[in-house]
Amino acid sequence: MRVAKGAQIAAGTALLALGVAACGGGGSGSGGSDGGTNPRAAESTVYIRGCEPQTGFVPGNINETCGGTINGFVYDRLVKYNSDTAAPELNQAESIETSDNKVWTIKLKPGLKWSDGSPVTAKNYVDAWNYTAYSPNAQIGTSWFEGVEGYDDVATQDPDGPDGPKKAPEPKKDTMSGLEVIDDLTFKVTLKAPEAVFRTKLGYTTFAALPEAFFKDPTAFKDNPVTNGPFKFVKWDHNSQIVVEANPDYPGAEKPKVKKIVYKMYKDDDAAYADLVSNNLDFTELVPPSALAGDKWKSDLGDRAIEGQQGVIQTLTVALYDKKYGGNADFRKALSMAIDRKTITDKIFNKGRVPLDGWISPLVDGYKSPGACGELCTFDPAKAKEYLAKAKAAGYTPPAEYPLWYNGDSAHKEWVDATANSINQALGADSGFKVVGKATPTFAELRDMATTHKVTGMLRTGWQMDYPHIENFLNPLYKTGSSSNDGLFSDKELDAKLREGDTNADPAQSIAAYQAAEAMMVKEMPVIPLWSFGLQAGTSKWVTGVKVTPFGELDPLSIAIK
């Protein structure tokens, strides 16, 4: 049953927002104190599970969770999302005003500072947005600014795709006409057309400001940034750790409760989990399948376990740009209907994930039940074989080995192998091909394959909501040329329907247009929905107050040392 915005999110976060209670005495399973000295107390440092960012610390060049999570610790934006409800709230902005959803006047709070002591200004925002939008700068987040007036003058398209010999023409300008600095604390944004969701989007990483220091050496900055959030950057030991420390000049009402956070990287999630159980790691938001089985993680952690929901989904994206593997719509439908989602989520994840019947998280405003995918997301080997036969009759012959790519530094092998086996068994030995799981060593390498369009077959993809709205699960992923459109899917009719949702000033009508756009996805099936995530997280016995947001991330201002 669909419930109203706010209530819908709150229902998903009642458990996420639980503070971790002080641990009582007891054995290893209880997480209780053993009477030993707290090693965190003297240094006021906590250790949390992390992963290697793909690109570093330039907000406009980030579209993956490893980079997004740690950047959220060190950069403030105009808007923040409430850690309990995910509702947008003013942050660095003192006001964001509009009378028509097209022209927006944004005023910053006075006294904001960068970690080098320089002031945060309106110009920092305008310069950052122009830099990201200017296509020769090759920022992943370029397309997020396509709604701004003058975007088409600064961003040009490659006429024959990323792998073709032709180059994109030089843009006419290097700044967008729709951005205007009014004074040190005020700037104006003029959009091409009204956008009802524009204010909500402003909390996304790509819309962060950049200091003057960035423009002196962008390459060096990505590894050693000047920041403006509750924590400031200290160091990055690649593939090992990122260290941040509390920003003494942070003006927010809520201050960090610890002096330092070490964002610690692991080669696999089982190692991270083992450190959590033994209290050498203070927080992880990911419990591996080996611990989910039989609810072992709950007995291991006791009252250190955190359970709930989060706005995250898992999908498979087909490399449509490679005709050998992209196949046709009927082939992709065959793959989808050959996946036994229920058995996989029951057995591998101990019912900690829920099969998807569409492309939208059930937690966001605009989710519609039953989902748009319908029977194409049901397990039906007979119909899967029928779709495969239609695909072959239309001239597509899949290669003998069809890869399913995933990153080996996280707990994906079990479900990837189960998914591959499900497809292979459902379609039968006479299908002419076999799906095979293939791992890259790290998540960063998998994302490099995705963003440079080097994937053969399909890759495991997921989407963690940037804000709780249906638009966020469609535009960045499926609009032509969008920043996270890994398979290079393009459909003019879908683009038009999405634009209808973008420009309709009535929230209800805008959502209806997005829902209609989602329903159009069944035609081509460019991405195969799998399941939505529950939350299984945990803490050490040394920390307290831990809050996990509806985005499935640690609220860095919540964690404290006992």
- The pLDDT assigned to 421 comes to 98
Neighbours of 496 (CB within 10 A): 12
CA dist., res. 202 & res. 110, Å (int)? 19
Phi, psi of 229 (to 5 degrees): -95, -170
The answer to whether residues 491 and 366 belong to one domain is yes
- The pLDDT assigned to 196 comes to 86
Beta strands 283-284 and 353-355 are unpaired
CA dist., res. 497 & res. 291, Å (int)? 43
- The pLDDT assigned to 23 comes to 29
Neighbours of 294 (CB within 10 A): 9
Condensed to tens digits (0 to 9), the pLDDT of residues 467-515 reads: 889 999 999 999 999 989 999 999 999 999 999 999 988 889 999 999 9
Whether 499 is in a domain gets the answer yes
Model confidence at 5: pLDDT above 60: no
The answer to whether residues 145 and 198 belong to one domain is yes
Query: Which helix (H) or strand (E) element contains residue 283?
Result: strand 283-284
Angle between helices 329-337 and 381-393 (to 10 degrees): 160
The answer to whether residues 182 and 280 belong to one domain is no
161: confidence class by pLDDT, cuts 50, 70, 90: low
Neighbours of 10 (CB within 10 A): 17
Of 71, 93, 70, 72, which is closest to residue 83 (Cα–Cα)?
Answer: 72
Whether 60 is in a domain gets the answer no
Span 203-230, average pLDDT: 97
Domain of 96, CATH number, reads 3.90.76.10
Condensed to tens digits (0 to 9), the pLDDT of residues 71-107 reads: 999 999 999 999 998 999 999 999 999 999 999 999 9
Span 171-191, average pLDDT: 98
15: confidence class by pLDDT, cuts 50, 70, 90: very low
- The pLDDT assigned to 25 comes to 27
Condensed to tens digits (0 to 9), the pLDDT of residues 19-47 reads: 332 222 223 333 333 456 888 888 899 99
The answer to whether residues 242 and 304 belong to one domain is yes
Q: Quick one: 243 exposed, middle or buried, by C-beta within 10 A (0-12, 13-18, 19+)? A: middle
Whether 229 is in a domain gets the answer no
Neighbours of 492 (CB within 10 A): 8
Separation of CA 254 from chain center:
25
Beta strands 560-561 and 179-183 are unpaired
The answer to whether residues 315 and 405 belong to one domain is yes
Domain of 479, CATH number, reads 3.10.105.10
Condensed to tens digits (0 to 9), the pLDDT of residues 340-385 reads: 999 999 999 999 999 999 999 999 999 998 999 999 999 999 999 9
The answer to whether residues 370 and 243 belong to one domain is no
Model confidence at 264: pLDDT above 70: yes
CA dist., res. 501 & res. 455, Å (int)? 31
8: confidence class by pLDDT, cuts 50, 70, 90: very low
- The pLDDT assigned to 375 comes to 96
Residues in the chain: 562
The answer to whether residues 132 and 250 belong to one domain is no
Domain count for the chain: 3
Neighbours of 76 (CB within 10 A): 23
CA dist., res. 269 & res. 409, Å (int)? 7
Q: Which domain holds residue 141?
A: 68-218
Tokens of 73: 């610790």
536: confidence class by pLDDT, cuts 50, 70, 90: very high
Q: What angle do CA 258, 261, 262 make, to 5 degrees?
A: 155
Whether 223 is in a domain gets the answer no
Of 194, 352, 382, which is closest to residue 287 (Cα–Cα)?
Answer: 352
Query: Which helix (H) or strand (E) element contains residue 458?
Result: strand 458-464
The answer to whether residues 530 and 451 belong to one domain is yes
The answer to whether residues 421 and 348 belong to one domain is yes
CA dist., res. 122 & res. 131, Å (int)? 14
pLDDT cut 70: percent of the chain above it: 93
The answer to whether residues 300 and 275 belong to one domain is yes
Whether 450 is in a domain gets the answer yes
- The pLDDT assigned to 162 comes to 58
Whether 74 is in a domain gets the answer yes
- The pLDDT assigned to 12 comes to 30
- The pLDDT assigned to 332 comes to 98
Which of 154, 187, 218 terminates a domain? The answer is: 218
Tell me the pLDDT of the chain averaged across its residues.
91
Cite the beta strand spans of 135-286 per DSSP E. 179-183, 186-190, 231-237, 241-246, 260-265, 283-284
Q: Do residues 376 and 333 make contact, with C-beta atoms less than 8 angstroms apart?
A: yes
Q: Do residues 133 and 176 make contact, with C-beta atoms less than 8 angstroms apart?
A: yes
Q: Report the amino acid identity of residue 536.
A: Q
Of 108, 11, 124, 15, which is closest to residue 60 (Cα–Cα)?
Answer: 124
538: confidence class by pLDDT, cuts 50, 70, 90: very high
CA dist., res. 58 & res. 36, Å (int)? 42
